[in-house]
Structures are given as C-alpha cells and as structure tokens.
C-alpha cells in the first residue's frame, strides 16, 4: 500500500513537472497531477493483476482521457491541457531508449523485442485516446448548469 502511495505521488510530481514545461496554466497543476497519477495507479493495478503491460496502458489511457475530457469541460479549457501532461507517466520512453541502446550495441534480438514492446505501448495509448474521443461531448456536460440556470441531464 505504501508503495502504491509513493508511486501515486511520484507520478503526480512528474505530471506537474511536465505541465510546467508544457506551459500549462498554474491553476491546472493539481488537476493535471491527479489525472496523471490516477492513470499510473490504474496501470500498476492492472499490470500487477496479470492484464499485461499493453492492456494496462490501454485502460489507463482511457481513464486519463475520460478525466481530461471531464475536467476540460468543467474548466472550459482544451482537453490537451490535461491530456498531454497526464499521459507522460505512460509514455514508453525507457523502451525506446533500450531499443536504441541494443541496436547501437548490435544486440538485434533485444532491440527488436524492446522496440516492439514500446510500439505496442504507443499504439495502446493512441487507441485509448481515440476510443474516448469518440464519446459524445454532451456526456461530459452532465450536471453542469445551463445558461438559463437549469441542470443539464442527458
């Protein structure tokens, strides 16, 4: 449990740090950090329970995308404010690094293995984003007040 909390906080800090580099407005840091950390925890839980890295990344990306769209509607800002920073913990940077390293050191089978794993992770991220982008925008407006003061229902 302590390990999960430490990883949640580390993912939150990493997401906020990337938000800073990406130029996200300061008042969105807590939400962005929460989104990235929530996605990382879902990834960890699924991966540790036998779903495999690629499937875990797919579902974690879908959660990140859902939360990004939800908070983007609530905060009236672009989805990318939360999505790009929130997806950072899942990006297969180490896999790309190792595949390049193995390629340079002439370990072709290891390069192919780690490169293919990184490619599967990248495709899972793309699919997770595309799947949630297909949901209608009105799904994310539920419970918001209209201009006339009434509540939006589906």
Chain-centre distance for alpha carbon 134: 17
> What is the chain's pLDDT, residue by residue, as a tens digit (154 residues)?
889 999 999 999 999 999 999 899 999 999 999 999 999 999 999 999 999 999 999 999 999 999 999 999 989 999 999 999 999 999 999 999 999 999 999 999 999 999 999 999 999 999 999 999 998 888 887 766 666 555 555 5
Instruction: State the pTM of this model.
Output: 0.87
Chain-centre distance for alpha carbon 66: 10
Q: Taking the alpha carbons of 9, 15, 18, 20 in that order, is the dihedral positive or negative?
A: negative
């Amino acid at each position: 449990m302590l390990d999960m909390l430490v990883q949640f906080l580390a993912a939150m800090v990493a997401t906020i740090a990337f938000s800073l580099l990406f130029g996200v407005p300061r008042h969105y840091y807590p939400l962005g950090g929460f989104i990235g950390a929530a996605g990382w925890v879902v990834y960890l839980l699924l991966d540790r329970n036998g779903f495999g890295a690629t499937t875990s990344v797919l579902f974690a990306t879908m959660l990140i995308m859902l939360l990004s769209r939800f908070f983007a509607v609530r905060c009236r800002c672009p989805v990318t404010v939360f999505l790009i920073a929130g997806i950072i913990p899942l990006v297969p940077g180490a896999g790309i690094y190792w595949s390049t390293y193995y390629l340079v050191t002439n370990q072709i089978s290891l390069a192919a293995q780690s490169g293919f794993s990184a490619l599967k992770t990248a495709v899972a991220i793309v699919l997770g984003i595309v799947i949630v982008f297909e949901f209608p925008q009105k799904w994310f407006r539920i419970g918001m007040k209209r201009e006339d003061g009434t509540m939006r229902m589906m």
